[in-house]
Structures are given as C-alpha cells and as structure tokens.
C-alpha cells in the first residue's frame, strides 16, 4: 500500500512556499485567510511590527447568527465585505493577498472578490 502524504503537511509546505515570497509592511499589510470546515477567518497583518490591524470571521459578533452556515461561499463573501469595510475605516487601501496554501478557488476566491469589491486593492 502506498503512503499517502498528510493533507496538513502538504498545505504547510505550500503555505511556507507562498510566505517566502510575500510579506506585509506598514504601507501594504498582508491579508491572510484561514478556512476550516465550518468557518472562515481573515485578518490584515503588519509583519514588520507583528500586529493584526483588522480581523473578521464568521464567528465574530458582527456575523454570528446572521448566517445560516459559516462554511460556504456566501459566508466568505460576507467576511470579505466586512473586512474591507473595517480596513477602509482603519485607513488601509492596499494589501498583499496571502492565500495561505489554499487553492484560489471557491471560498477563498469569494472572499478575495468581496474584499476587492469593498475597496481593497490587491
């Protein structure tokens, strides 16, 4: 029987490969996405100071209870809209998108498109 590679280990390798190339700064912070089966999380990070500037997720107080489920593209779109709104209020217009080893498809793409439609540039 063949040894199948661990899914988490493969994603970690992809994540580190992506993170070698992109980093967030004060002028252009990093928009990081994490997706689980039931929820999706996004945050804007300044890597130079190590601070999370803005965060949004399906379990946050703004969206909790308003969505039927947190694990679909509608929820990802809502998180992207909310994140863009919070970022614009904080004075952030340009970000670097960090897909964190996930394929740019489905919920990740829906979140990114909603953030772009909300006014973020990347």
Dump pLDDT digits (tens) for 50-100.
Answer: 999 999 999 999 999 899 999 999 999 999 999 999 999 999 999 999 999
- In this structure, what CATH number is given to the domain that contains residue 64? 3.30.420.100
Has residue 5 been placed in a domain?
A: no
Residue 122 and residue 97 in contact, taking contact as beta carbons nearer than 8 Å? yes
Has residue 36 been placed in a domain?
A: yes
Has residue 3 been placed in a domain?
A: no
Has residue 58 been placed in a domain?
A: yes
Number of folded domains that form the chain: 1
Whether 26 shows a pLDDT value over 90: the answer reads no
Whether 3 shows a pLDDT value over 70: the answer reads yes
Whether 2 shows a pLDDT value over 70: the answer reads no
Average pLDDT over residues 5-30: 88
Would you state the pLDDT for residue 8? 86
Would you state the pLDDT for residue 1? 55
Has residue 16 been placed in a domain?
A: no
For 33-45, the pLDDT digits (tens) are: 999 999 999 999 9
Has residue 64 been placed in a domain?
A: yes
Has residue 12 been placed in a domain?
A: no
Has residue 14 been placed in a domain?
A: no
The residue segments making up the domain with residue 73 are: 21-117
Whether 106 shows a pLDDT value over 70: the answer reads yes
23 phi/psi in degrees, rounded to 5: -150, 150
CA-wise closest residue to 115 among 75, 84, 91, 90? 84
pLDDT band at 20 (very low <50, low <70, confident <90, very high): confident
């Amino acid at each position: 029987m063949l040894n199948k590679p661990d899914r988490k280990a493969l994603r970690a390798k992809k994540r580190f490969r992506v993170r070698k190339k992109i980093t967030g700064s004060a002028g252009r912070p990093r928009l990081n996405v994490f997706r689980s089966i039931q929820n999706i999380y996004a945050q804007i990070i300044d890597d130079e100071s190590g601070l999370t500037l803005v965060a949004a997720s399906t379990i946050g107080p703004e969206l909790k209870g308003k969505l039927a489920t947190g694990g679909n593209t509608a929820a990802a779109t809502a998180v992207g809209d909310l994140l863009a709104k919070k970022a614009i209020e904080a004075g952030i217009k340009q970000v670097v998108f960090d897909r964190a080893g996930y394929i740019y498809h489905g919920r990740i793409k829906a979140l990114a498109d909603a953030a772009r439609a909300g006014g973020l540039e990347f």
